[in-house]
A and B are shown apart, each in its own frame.
Chain A
Amino acid sequence: MNESQHLSSQFDDDLGRLRTSVLQMGGLVETQIAAAIDAYSSGEVGSVKQIVETDRIVNDLEKAIDDDCAHLIAKRQPAASDLRLVFGISKIVTDLERAGDEAKKIAKGVRRIYEAGQMPSQYGIGVRHIAEAALGMLRQALDAFARLDTEQAQKVILADVDVDTEFKSIMRQLITHMMEDPRTITTAIDIIWIARAIERIGDHAKNVAEHVVFIVEGRDIRHPPKERKA
């Protein structure tokens, strides 16, 4: 990644603004996720409306940033590290927007569970734990983007394995519960959806980290051969 200045200071400004917007959007998504997790633990479903509204702002930001990317490409024809940055940003915002959607899904699931008055406390801890992990991944991925730090990005990519494992273990637990007591099925399915959304947030964080590696090093590390076999 090239940190020296362009001959055109306007070009520098444009790129700087793009990066700031991405971090702003990422910050909003983080807030959404954190609020959704809080609602899950506390049962304060009043925040759900706010989360849904924030999602609209996140969606608008995605469109605005993509539009800025298109304009920047048309005006400046970026090359090399600049091209990778613009291209990477356009992909990162897609993942951020989807992570925001997952937060919205979590919030709505939480509302369904609590409004039906059936939050079984024994699931609380596992879900909260995986949620903190996924949110941490997203935070680190955005940090890695802000500092163009590939080491940090690699850590995020490795952390995704843990989140996936934990998700599978939550699934096993819930299946057991459903078999033992069919009355819990409705709630258990909602919790599965929530855990699934959290696991997806981890995937999006991993994708963001992969885009950061592409931006900095020009290497596309998505879908390594080992993964493809599965």
Chain B
Amino acid sequence: MQIHEKPPLKAEARNLNFFYGQAQALKKINMPIYDKKVTALIGPSGCGKSTYLRSFNRMHDLYPGNRYEGEIRFFPDNTNLLASDVDPIEVRMRIGMVFQKPNPFPKTIFENVAFGLRVRGESNKRVLDDKVEHALKGAAIWDEVKDRLQENAPNLSGGQQQRLCIARALATDPELLLFDEPTSALDPIATGAIEELIHELKKRVTILIVTHNMQQAARVSDYTAYMYLGEMIEFGKTDEIFIKPQDKRTEDYITGRMG
């Protein structure tokens, strides 16, 4: 076991509580997100992992009655993502998200990727061309779509659509990417492609991923957090969590002993 220095922080949850109306979905979450590392969130359905993930880009603001307490600090500028004076649109430029089911817009491949850039006010054709190409390359789908950028995105296969959604998220040069079970609707080959891509992406972006697939968490992540009933039970290096978890509840979950 080599001696391990902690990498710099990209974000950090501090005493984070979250309420859907009266129901408390997150309880005092304290957790570091290390820069340019992949952090996996695992736990049974309803444990709060998606709720936690969605707090980062203020998805919960879209519904009334939702309430945050505590902070999510975002570095290097040390912004509290949850502060009321922080603009959620601005947050989402810096923090991209990819969902369980590929959700391309009913537009062309090109326009899907250019969308975020246009929202940001970019209209220069050359800049758009460059950035779209760069994002599609970053999502490892350029070679498959470069000759048909004007085709309708929903015509792509599921795996291609998911990579397109990753390209769309990448186009605005986010610092953190949130993946909410990105491969649960994909076959093993497409899943492998996405996992490979995650490995490539972490060279330039920090990744937080929710997955139900424990092997996937073990394969793609550097750190793993186990959540249960809205609490973070254990956080640690993935290598250690899957060989020697410290908490019995983590052990029971990853060995399939929990109903």
Contact = CB atoms under 8 A, between A and B. Distances in A.
Of A77, A78, A80, A84, chain B has the most CB atoms within 10 Å of the CB of A80
A6 B255 contact: yes
B185 to A, nearest CB: 21
B240 to A, nearest CB: 9
Interface in A1-24: 2, 4-8, 11
B251 interface: yes
A6 B255 CA distance: 7
Using C-beta atoms within 8 Å of the partner chain, give the interface range for chain B. 10 to 19
A80 B247 CA distance: 11
A2 B242 contact: no
B243 A82 contact: no
A81 interface: yes
Interface in B221-259: 242-245, 248, 250-252, 254-259
Given A79-B218, A80-B254, A7 B259 contact: yes
Nearest to B242: A79
Given A2-B252, A6-B256, A82-B255, A77 B215 contact: yes
A11 B245 contact: no
Contacts of B258: 7
Interface in B123-179: none
B214 interface: yes
A83 B218 CA distance: 13
B242 A8 contact: no
A83 B259 contact: no
Interface residues of A, number: 18
A87 to B, nearest CB: 9
Given A79-B218, A80-B243, A83-B243, A2 B251 contact: yes
Contacts of B252: 2, 4
A11 B256 contact: yes
A124 interface: no
Interface in A172-230: 217-218
B256 A81 contact: no
Interface in A75-93: 76-84
Contacts of B244: 80, 84, 217-218
Interface of A: 2, 4-8, 11, 76-84, 217-218
Which 3 residue pairs across A and B have the least CB separation, nearest first?
A218-B244, A79-B254, A82-B255
11 contacts: A2-B248, A2-B257, A6-B255, A6-B256, A7-B256, A7-B258, A79-B255, A80-B242, A80-B243, A80-B255, A218-B243
